[in-house]
């Protein structure tokens, strides 16, 4: 390893010296697949590793070809610019906040539960909670939580 920075880097088409400003060029030969050099292997293993690595070289690419990279680029294209007009002109600015006009923080019904709904929810989920609490290796804090919920 060269100074603990990932090992030897051998450029394919190195430029001798980079020019200034607009005339600058890469001097490392660009992105490429670096072959691993492993030491301390059994006799012949290093040669076989080099043969395997050179048999199917990866294409050099400076852009990400992963599905995640494509999804991010598509999301960036569909993102609304910061100072564009609103898509919901009839919705107040405070919609979703716990104050002001508009729907509160939970207009979809998730999260906030009225006191009238709690007994129904408890009856609905208690069998599954008790079943989980009786399983081996369950954390004691979870078992205590279920017992407290059951007894209230």
pLDDT digits (tens, 9 = 90+) for 47-89: 888 787 777 666 655 554 445 555 555 555 677 888 888 888 8
Between CA 150 and CA 106 the distance in angstroms is: 27
Asked if the structure places residue 122 within a domain, the reply is: yes
pLDDT at residue 65 in the model: 46
φ, ψ for residue 31 (rounded to 5)? Answer: -70, 140
Parent domain of 135: 118-151
pTM equals 0.29
Beta-carbon contacts of residue 35 (< 8 Å; ≥ 6 apart): 50, 53, 54
> For the segment 95-111, what is each residue's pLDDT rounded down to a tens digit?
878 788 887 776 555 55
Asked if the structure places residue 72 within a domain, the reply is: no
Domains: count for the chain? 1
Asked if the structure places residue 145 within a domain, the reply is: yes
Beta-carbon contacts of residue 123 (< 8 Å; ≥ 6 apart): none
C-alpha separations of 14 from 11, 59, 115, 118 in Å: 5, 18, 72, 70
Is residue 139 helix, strand or coil?
A: coil
Asked if the structure places residue 26 within a domain, the reply is: no
Beta-carbon contacts of residue 60 (< 8 Å; ≥ 6 apart): 30, 31, 32, 33
pLDDT at residue 130 in the model: 92
Asked if the structure places residue 17 within a domain, the reply is: no
């Amino acid at each position: 390893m060269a100074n603990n920075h990932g090992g030897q880097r051998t450029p394919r088409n190195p430029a001798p010296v980079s020019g200034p400003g607009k005339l600058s060029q890469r001097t490392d030969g660009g992105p490429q697949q670096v072959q691993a050099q492993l030491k301390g292997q059994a006799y012949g293993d290093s040669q076989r590793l080099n043969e395997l690595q050179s048999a199917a070289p990866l294409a050099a690419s400076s852009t990400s070809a992963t599905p995640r990279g494509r999804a991010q680029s598509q999301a960036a294209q569909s993102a609304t610019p910061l100072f564009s007009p609103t898509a919901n002109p009839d919705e107040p600015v405070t919609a979703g906040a716990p104050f002001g006009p508009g729907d509160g923080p939970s207009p979809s019904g998730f999260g906030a539960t009225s006191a009238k709904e709690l007994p129904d929810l408890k009856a609905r989920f208690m069998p599954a909670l008790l079943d989980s609490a009786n399983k081996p290796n369950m954390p004691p804090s979870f078992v205590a939580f279920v017992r407290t919920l059951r007894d209230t």
